[in-house]
Amino acid sequence: MGLLTNILLSPFLGPVWASKWTLDKVDRVVREELTDDTPIKEDLMKLQMELEMGEIDDAEYVKREAEIMRRLREVREWREKYGMSIGGGPVRVAGGNETE
């Protein structure tokens, strides 16, 4: 995550208000990048297609699937950190439990 590293390591320059604005904006971009699992899911579908088409063997599939799962878990962790919804995990009907 090159962008994030740059931001974290860059020296503190300029007036405070300017930095604040930049950080807000960058934070938004970084957050979107960290919490978007669409490209990962697309990779997973591509991988499945490759297996179906016989372009890769089972061992290759398993290896790359593990890597994709690792990336998915990473996104999930970021989403949790930002308090965003995640696919999977325990759910209940919204507001349903108390109104029984």
Three-class SS of residue 54? Answer: coil
CB atoms within 10 A of CB 90: 4
State both tokens at 55.
């372009």
* Minimum CB–partner distance for residue 27 and another protein (Å): 23
DSSP letter, residue 14: S
69 binds another protein (CB under 8 A): yes
Nearer to another protein, 5 or 97 (CB): 97
Task: Quote the CA–CA distance of 16 and 22 in Å, as a whole number.
Answer: 10
Residues 29 to 58 in contact with another protein, rule: CB under 8 A:
42, 44-46, 48-49, 52-53
93 binds another protein (CB under 8 A): yes
Element of type H or E holding 69:
helix 58-81
14 binds another protein (CB under 8 A): no
* Minimum CB–partner distance for residue 49 and another protein (Å): 5
Task: Quote the CA–CA distance of 26 and 16 in Å, as a whole number.
Answer: 15
Binding-site ranges for another protein (CB under 8 A): 42, 44-46, 48-49, 52-53, 61, 65, 69, 72-73, 76, 85-97, 100
